[in-house]
Structure 1
Amino acid sequence: RQGKLRLQKWYVPLSDKEKKKITRELVQTVLARKPKMCSFLEWRDLKIVYKRYASLYFCCAIEDQDNELITLEIIHRYVELLDKYFGSVCELDIIFNFEKAYFILDEFLLGGEVQETSKKNVLKAIEQADLLQEPRHEYFNVPVY
């Protein structure tokens, strides 16, 4: 129940001050809720959808007309993608590989909308990006004359 923010993605422009205020309020609100309480709550003019996985909370703020159950499924799909990539994701994976966690999110969601529904396709795109980032050792072992 520390309330340390590990990842955040904003799809509306807000000042840093406003983002910090919103984050602080939401962390306090979500952490204060009991485990058996509903994963949906109304907050300001938005709906908050969250899900706890072990010690990690995943939280989304959605507009009033958006579907809470679909959002809960989106959170679950993101966690499944993280699990597949990291092999049972934990907080340390996200802390030390936050760039990859953001990359996975960006492959899955674009502008707050689901871009790719297939886990297989998302993971394939991530694997291809990983291959591009790997150093090519054959170039480093060529003797210079």
Structure 2
Amino acid sequence: MIHFVLLISRQGKVRLTKWYSPYSQKERAKVLRELSGMILTRGPKLCNFVEWRGYKVVYKRYASLYFCMCINQDDNELEILEIIHHYVEILDRYFGSVCELDLIFNFHKAYYILEEILLAGELQESSKKTVARLIGAQDSLVEDAKEQASSIKNMIAQATK
């Protein structure tokens, strides 16, 4: 089981967090400090697995972001690396060569994509085509809602003239 997902920039700024296990706000802040300090100081040639508090943290660096997932000791690290890569590939496909700014300004899309892939800390959807289809459907719903809100706004403006 995945306990949490973190996206951390090289400067140590947290770009995305998703918690699947209960942690208080104070514990979350402590976890973020500990792990960002531990992962950011590791050399690039070291392995992508870190033992931490009885768990394993699997991470992978893509450009200026570290994608980290915390798992149980007996879970398969290579499977988690594949899940991280799967998530990055879907982000790349959606944003067209995803970068840190895409995640900053469209964090809600990054969360939505993550929630389509993972459910309660387990892999839900492994098909990139299915995830892309679901994201496209969500985008069209949002556009329809925006158009509807705009037309209602215009009707109200005309009625109040």
TM over 0.5: yes
CA deviation digits over 1:38-78, x for unaligned, max 9?
00111111001000001010001100111000000000000
Aligned length: 144
The code of the aligned residue for 1:84 comes to: R
Is 1:136 matched up with 2:154?
no
CA deviation digits over 1:65-112, x for unaligned, max 9?
110000000000000010000000000000000000000000111011
Identity %: 60
The code of the aligned residue for 2:76 comes to: N
Is 1:105 matched up with 2:114?
yes
Is 1:90 matched up with 2:99?
yes
Is 1:24 matched up with 2:33?
yes
**Following TM superposition, where does structure 1 have runs of at least 4 consecutive aligned residues deviating by more than 2 angstroms?**
139-145
Describe the SS at the equivalent of 1:21.
helix
State the distance in 1 between where 2:110 and 2:58 align. 20
CA RMSD for the aligned pairs?
1.7
**TM-score, with length taken from structure 2:** 0.85
The match for 2:125 is 116
Describe the SS at the equivalent of 1:6.
strand
**TM-score, with length taken from structure 1:** 0.94
The match for 1:43 is 52
The code of the aligned residue for 2:139 comes to: D
User: Which 5+ residue runs of structure 1 have no aligned equivalent?
Assistant: none
Question: Which has the higher relative contact order, 1 or 2, with Cα contacts under 8 A spaced 6 or more apart?
Answer: 2
User: Which 5+ residue runs of structure 2 have no aligned equivalent?
Assistant: 1-9
Q: Tell me by how many angstroms 1:136 deviates.
A: 3.2
The code of the aligned residue for 2:33 comes to: R
Q: Structure 1 or 2: larger strand share?
A: 2
Of 75, 78, 83, the residue aligned with 2:84 is 75
Q: What does 1:2-21 align with in structure 2 at a 5 Å threshold?
A: 2-21=11-30
